[in-house]
Structure 1
Amino acid sequence: MEKHKFIGKSKDEAIQQAKISLEESNVDNLFINELSSKKSLFSTKVEIEVIEKDEIIKFIKEYIQTLLKNMGFNIKIEVFNKNNTPLYKIYSDNDSLLIGKNGKNLKSLQILVGQAINKEINQNFKFTIDINDYQEKKERNLIRLAKNIAREVSQTKVEAKLDSMNSYERRIIHNALANSSKVYTESCGEEPERYVVIKPKGE
């Protein structure tokens, strides 16, 4: 993964240099990490490190392929863009072992790959791993659950506390009910036991 460094009198100026040098007009296609900002009496210097997002996406795919191959899995990976976030769909004949009970192994894989990329670029990078559409099916089930409980809450006017979920699962619940006129959602508790509460809106 190729990293580029640029220095400017401001972060914006350094970014402009990066866009020109890398021939990239859309800054959203660049991953930017501010390395340092030095101020003196007469000037300011800002140094940034820039990685093209396509390079990061490719790095993650290759990392997953190498990791699972070394573990003895025969897999195929396809990369999609879902809500501006890379989605890595893994297909395998041994999907039950890769997914694990209640998705435990899939969660571990997501964390492991996340730690590897964060170490490489010194920042968090959002991406999602799915195995044989497990996450997609789970998302549909969570949306169905959210709407069913929201219906009960709106009728009884009694808030409902859901089981603890990871940030990805909580976000699905929040998004599913974001436009509801009858209920609203809140995340409560501390990681890894954070959970969503569905509450009735006042009349």
Structure 2
Amino acid sequence: MNIVKVSGKTIEEAAASAVTELDAKTKDDIDYKVIEEPKKGFLGLIGNRSAVIEAQRKLDPAEEADRFLRAVIEDMGVPVRVSQEVTRDRKVIFQLNGEDPGIVIGRHAKTLDSLQYLVQLAANRYADKHITVTIDAGNYRQRRRETLKQLAENLVSKAERTGGKVMLEPMPPQERKIIHAALLRSKRVKTYSDGTEPRRYVVIAPI
């Protein structure tokens, strides 16, 4: 992390110099601490002392997420390309694409979910405002979302046909949310989650 020590007649002047040296846009993009307060000498001439500060650029969560993700992927030795999108509502979405994205997806996306969790921790470690990180590989999450929606619709028919509850296999929270959302407005069934983590599951029951 680049830390600079700069001086100026006033703290504001020193901060402005730090913004330039750190290639930041405004003073809001840096953190600094005052090492020496400015002091006016005798008659404003003799014994004057400049303000001295130590400053560094504030960490950008999206940049930290990108740096951490690329470092982990390099350590894993997985040949994938990383692309990033930052949305207006402070969501950072990474897409990983390559010949074999299954390596970073893992069984039931456990590797992908773990990677996403670690990257989010790294991104928010020093962040002033929390950001949400989503990582997808080979468009897995979108395909999985469509599969779960179709599964939900199919199981509605089963619940109605049998007149009983239909229990799905245990799923992570984000996948259970997809099922609940898909059937939220259904007038034929209701859904709820049961069980305890990590084997919590969705129940579809006729109304």
Indicate whether the TM-score tops 0.5.
yes
Q: Is 1:73 paired with 2:78?
A: yes
* Bigger share in helix: 1
Structure 1 ranges of 4+ moved more than 6 A: none
3-state SS of 2:178 partner: helix
**Whole-angstrom CA distance in 1 between matches of 2:189 and 2:140:** 28
Q: Which runs of 5+ in 2 are unaligned?
A: 2-26, 29-57
Corresponding residue for residue 20 of structure 2: none
Give me the identity figure in percent. Answer: 30
**Whole-angstrom CA distance in 2 between matches of 1:166 and 1:105:** 13
Corresponding residue for residue 17 of structure 1: none
- The structure-2 alpha-carbon separation of the partners of 1:81 and 1:116, relative to structure 1 and needing over 3 Å to count, comes to closer
Which has the higher mean CA deviation after the structures are superposed, 125-134 or 83-92?
Answer: 83-92
Q: Is 1:188 paired with 2:194?
A: yes
The one-letter code of the counterpart of 1:75 is V
The one-letter code of the counterpart of 1:179 is R
Aligned length: 153
TM-score, scaled relative to structure 1? 0.64
**Whole-angstrom CA distance in 2 between matches of 1:78 and 1:169:** 24
Whether the aligned pair in 2 keeps the contact of 1:65 and 1:75 (CA below 8 Å) is no
What do the CA deviations read for 1:88-109 (whole angstroms, capped 9, x no partner)? 2111223122222332322221
Corresponding residue for residue 68 of structure 2: 63
* CA RMSD, 1 decimal: 3.0
Q: Which runs of 5+ in 1 are unaligned?
A: 2-20, 23-51
TM-score, scaled relative to structure 2? 0.63
Corresponding residue for residue 141 of structure 1: 147
Corresponding residue for residue 93 of structure 1: 99
What are the equivalent positions in structure 2 for 1:145-160 lying under 5 Å apart? 145-160=151-166
Q: CA offset at residue 134 of structure 1?
A: 1.2
- The structure-2 alpha-carbon separation of the partners of 1:182 and 1:64, relative to structure 1 and needing over 3 Å to count, comes to same
